[in-house]
Structure 1
Amino acid sequence: MNSVTVVGPGTVVVSFEQEPMVVTQGAVAIEKDRIIAIGTFEDLCATYPRAELLDAHGGLILPGLVNLHHHFYSALARGLDPGMPMHDFGEILKGLWWRLDRALDTQTVRLSATLSLADCIRWGCTTVFDHHVSPSCLGGSLNLIADVVREAGLSAVLSYEISDRNGHEEAQAGLEENLQFASDHGKSPRLRSLLGLHASFTVSDTTLEQVSKQRPADLGIHVHLAEDQLDAKLSQERYGQTPLDRLDHFGLLDGRALLAHGVDLGRHDVSRIAESGAILIHNPESNSNNAVGRLDLEAALSLGCTVGLGTDGMSSRMLGSLRAAFLGVRAGTGDPTSGFDTVSGLLHANSRRAAQIFDEPLLGRLSEGAPADVIVIDPPAPTQVTPANVLGHLLYGVSENVVRHTIARGRILLKDFRHTTLDVGEIAAQALAASPALWERFRELDT
């Protein structure tokens, strides 16, 4: 059996950098888990005459997408009525998410992860950073999710959300879960870890000190920061410092940190994040849904901050999140000429951070020697794609289109719109059967 696969013909866009190289009538050659060549379809077929062909039908051939902030555990909340008013961010947390996470059991943790990973595959996301929490089945929950990641065929960076909101004993258990998973999977090619924290206002000084002392030097944090004014307000009231000051005080603000949201940050704090080398993760759809405002993306970038992109569990559709970020800039500035320069580097920043964590310098690029993370988006572009207009195609067309093929580390996970590693019909049936009991446990929990 020939081990080389040629993906084409189509329009190849080699990266998400500004004005990337574009190959028309192009193709990608893959052997095992690596890309071995990029070129025209004609040339690659001549070079590898016995290769298997994965027909791109003229579609757009892109690097696999990276999602820097997801919440798999939220998948079974679709259609759930909290049964109480939720007028602000604090009430949303207490009335919905902090009840749902406590209602999860091992079955629904696994189902939630499987549903989310199936969606990632369907939308061309080949590397995903998940921020998990399930207090009622905490121990071993990251390994449970890791098993599903392996089954699905994606790459993932997992963390457990440490919080004192249910008591310090649970916070300690969360720390132990993170450290054990990091120890088990430190150099795994497709599974890596970060140290998860909920947010400053629910993590005590005692817990942060323990995290600081026990965290390995090469293990970054993954935390919600300034998602709403509530974070700063309660952090000041409870601990006498701002959320960013607390992270800095305990030595957690560094170049490996992932800081989700940043909606309520001032310019001085954004400058400090830029100096630290941490990455700020914009989640535009979630921020709109929770009515917490929006990250001042333009200011953050002007101050030298690296900004990436996530979905915060709202979906797994990264190109939809990119479009939402773009439209948010236009709505926020009132300037119909704005947005292109502002969002042009978000997907590339995601790829660079994933490349750092996986020790894969070429991750997120279609180039010789890179991990074979490749997606094909259908249908073919109706107008010419050039290095100068790739972003316009992504925002105004491709973000609304469907993924035909998803390939992760050389393994075809979606072929001609159909999953190959997951039985999505069976998963949906299992979720439909399990969700009533989950929702009933949810309703029995108070806030």
Structure 2
Amino acid sequence: MTDAIIYNANIVTFTRENPYHPGKALLIEGHKIKEIGEYRDISKRFPKTRRINAQNGFLLPGMINAHTHLYSTFARGMMIEVAIPTFPKILENVWWKLDRALTEEDCYYSAEVGIIESIRHGVTTIIDHHSSPQFIEGSLDVMAQAFQKTAVRGVLSYEVSDRNGLAGAEAGIEENCRFLKKLETDSEPLLRALFGLHASFTLSDNTLDKCAQAGHDRKAGFHFHLAEDRIDTEDSWQQYGIPIHERFTQREIFNTKSIVAHGVHLPEESFPALADTKTTLVHNPQSNMNNAVGCTPLLNLYENNVFLCLGTDGMTPDIREEIRCIPLIQSHHHKIPGAGLAVSKTIVLENQSKLVSNLFGNSIGLIAPGYQADLIILDYSPPTPVDEHNFFNHLIWGMSRSKVNFVMIDGRIIMKDGHLIGIDEQRIYERGRELARDVWERFKKLN
């Protein structure tokens, strides 16, 4: 980490006022952004500060992935030889077998490879939701090691579930508690923790009570799947006789630091429970399409003041793909061109930053004085003019596919000229491929 001046940059700030500064310079002091201005003026005042030439690239805030599963990295290329007609069957035949096949080393390398791919796509903050039933105790420490090695900002949790028996649920609760307590005493500026849960339909009242109490004792937010498929909402009525949101409101699990993913089948009567508690709902459009669970009622949620963010759910390391997908899926679903543009802007330009700033207690996710220096430079040559009015359209339809050349996190250069600094990618990928073969073999043997 060192003070720096990034110059010859087209700066997209994501701020409401002055969102675009073509051909300007950015002054960074330590971990934070100091000012935007003319290169001649800044360089004159700080003659000894390190220079970084953006080469007329586009300088943006680092991207934020608000919900993903790094343990799914080794699923890419895995052949599934059975028909999977429903979402519950996908869980049973793919994801719940894959996570049971993971060892300690698998957890580390699937995380490290996934993080490296995220960096290469301009992601500087990852909110992960982890599961490895055969390696629970210490699993979040292993995940944390991968984040620390790559110097990426991360929020970690372990998903508690009853699907692996009472002992598995208890171990998951303990792992969340242990890691939350560890971060209370250890100074980890780039790491935070939430209390992870799987989903309502895999959590008994008894387990949910224990999770709620343990999380409240640590003053934690919670991170879990909510109404991704109809099975979640139907199970709540069939097993407990109440709408799904009541299971969580009764236990005060919704709160300003809590994150729920998907909400595809969340009934409208549940919206106030999220809006009133300022709980974050994370949209994962490509995963929802891939699993054929439906389309999140994003516009209705938005109109009802639910705080919305964006994740990939492990489908891709590139959150920019998901940014592009928001207006596409909403336009297709509502049969109205451009239906999702307004909510896309709110999510990308405002809410992603607000979520991470709240979790870390710092200003993160915008290019403005006082914000943490989480930055990326895109090699984007626009075919049409870019200005303060149309930059978001360029972000969706052009920058979403452009190459990331430079990444800085918390004032530290992580990638420059397309090369990750201090990371042996070849060795990591080679070992990852070796481990993936073993994971696939174990996967095939599981019932």
Q: What residue number does 2:204 align with?
A: 204
Q: What residue number does 2:351 align with?
A: 349
**CA separation in 1, counterparts of 2:235 and 2:428?**
40
Contact 1:33–1:411 at 8 Å: present in 2 too?
A: yes
SS for the counterpart of 2:157 is strand
Q: Aligned pair count?
A: 443
**CA separation in 1, counterparts of 2:327 and 2:297?**
12
Q: Which amino acid aligns with 2:401?
A: E
Q: What residue number does 1:108 align with?
A: 106
Contact 1:10–1:380 at 8 Å: present in 2 too?
A: no
Q: What residue number does 1:26 align with?
A: 24
Matches within 5 A, 1:176-195: 176-186=174-184, 188-195=188-195
Deviation at 1:237, TM superposition (A): 2.5
Contact 1:260–1:282 at 8 Å: present in 2 too?
A: yes
Q: What residue number does 2:90 align with?
A: 92
Q: What residue number does 2:336 align with?
A: 335
Q: Which amino acid aligns with 2:280?
A: I
Post-superposition Cα deviations, 1:168-223, rounded to whole Å, max 9, x if no partner, equal 11111101101111111136311100000000000111111111222236310001
TM-score (norm 2): 0.96
CA RMSD after TM alignment: 1.5
Match of 2:159 among 147, 158, 161: 161
Cα separation, partners in 2 of 1:340 and 1:249, compared to 1, 3 Å:
same
**CA separation in 2, counterparts of 1:228 and 1:346?**
23
Contact 1:19–1:390 at 8 Å: present in 2 too?
A: no
Deviation at 1:50, TM superposition (A): 2.1
SS for the counterpart of 1:321 is helix
SS for the counterpart of 1:160 is coil
Deviation at 1:18, TM superposition (A): 4.7
Contact 1:323–1:399 at 8 Å: present in 2 too?
A: yes
Q: What residue number does 2:10 align with?
A: 11
Post-superposition Cα deviations, 1:259-282, rounded to whole Å, max 9, x if no partner, equal 100000122212321112101100
Q: What residue number does 2:304 align with?
A: 303
Cα separation, partners in 2 of 1:411 and 1:3, compared to 1, 3 Å:
closer
**CA separation in 2, counterparts of 1:337 and 1:350?**
21
Contact 1:24–1:40 at 8 Å: present in 2 too?
A: no
**CA separation in 2, counterparts of 1:41 and 1:283?**
39
Q: Which amino acid aligns with 1:156?
A: G
**CA separation in 2, counterparts of 1:267 and 1:388?**
34
Contact 1:151–1:421 at 8 Å: present in 2 too?
A: no
Between 153-162 and 38-47, report the one with greater CA deviation: 38-47
Deviation at 1:436, TM superposition (A): 1.5
Q: What residue number does 1:418 align with?
A: 419
Q: What residue number does 2:223 align with?
A: 222
Q: Which amino acid aligns with 1:406?
A: V
Q: Does 1:389 align with 2:387?
A: no
SS for the counterpart of 2:370 is coil
**CA separation in 1, counterparts of 2:278 and 2:209?**
22
**CA separation in 1, counterparts of 2:331 and 2:78?**
32
**CA separation in 2, counterparts of 1:214 and 1:50?**
51
Cα separation, partners in 2 of 1:20 and 1:137, compared to 1, 3 Å:
farther
Q: Which amino acid aligns with 2:5?
A: V
Between 193-202 and 383-392, report the one with greater CA deviation: 383-392
Q: What residue number does 2:145 align with?
A: 147
SS for the counterpart of 2:430 is helix
Q: Which amino acid aligns with 1:196?
A: G
Post-superposition Cα deviations, 1:89-119, rounded to whole Å, max 9, x if no partner, equal 0010000000000000011111100011001
Q: What residue number does 1:83 align with?
A: 81
Deviation at 1:32, TM superposition (A): 2.4
Deviation at 1:256, TM superposition (A): 1.9
**CA separation in 2, counterparts of 1:55 and 1:266?**
50
Between 196-205 and 435-444, report the one with greater CA deviation: 435-444
Q: Which amino acid aligns with 2:323?
A: L
Q: Which amino acid aligns with 2:357?
A: A
Contact 2:254–2:273 at 8 Å: present in 1 too?
A: no
Post-superposition Cα deviations, 1:51-82, rounded to whole Å, max 9, x if no partner, equal 22222111111111111101000000011123
Deviation at 1:20, TM superposition (A): 4.8
Post-superposition Cα deviations, 1:295-335, rounded to whole Å, max 9, x if no partner, equal 11111101111100000001121111110111111111111
SS for the counterpart of 1:137 is coil
Identity of aligned residues (%): 34
**CA separation in 2, counterparts of 1:346 and 1:280?**
11
Q: Which amino acid aligns with 2:88?
A: G
Contact 2:180–2:218 at 8 Å: present in 1 too?
A: no
Deviation at 1:243, TM superposition (A): 2.5
Deviation at 1:133, TM superposition (A): 0.3
Q: Which amino acid aligns with 1:205?
A: D
Q: What residue number does 2:320 align with?
A: 319
Between 398-407 and 79-88, report the one with greater CA deviation: 79-88
Matches within 5 A, 1:422-433: 422-433=423-434
Q: What residue number does 1:400 align with?
A: 401
SS for the counterpart of 2:97 is helix
Contact 1:4–1:32 at 8 Å: present in 2 too?
A: yes
Q: Does 1:65 align with 2:66?
A: no
Post-superposition Cα deviations, 1:130-155, rounded to whole Å, max 9, x if no partner, equal 00000111100001010110110111
Between 424-433 and 396-405, report the one with greater CA deviation: 424-433
Q: What residue number does 1:359 align with?
A: 361
Q: What residue number does 1:39 align with?
A: 37
Contact 1:224–1:260 at 8 Å: present in 2 too?
A: yes
Deviation at 1:19, TM superposition (A): 6.1
SS for the counterpart of 1:403 is strand
Contact 2:177–2:218 at 8 Å: present in 1 too?
A: no
Q: Which amino acid aligns with 1:353?
A: L
Q: Which amino acid aligns with 1:66?
A: I
SS for the counterpart of 1:183 is helix
Deviation at 1:33, TM superposition (A): 1.6
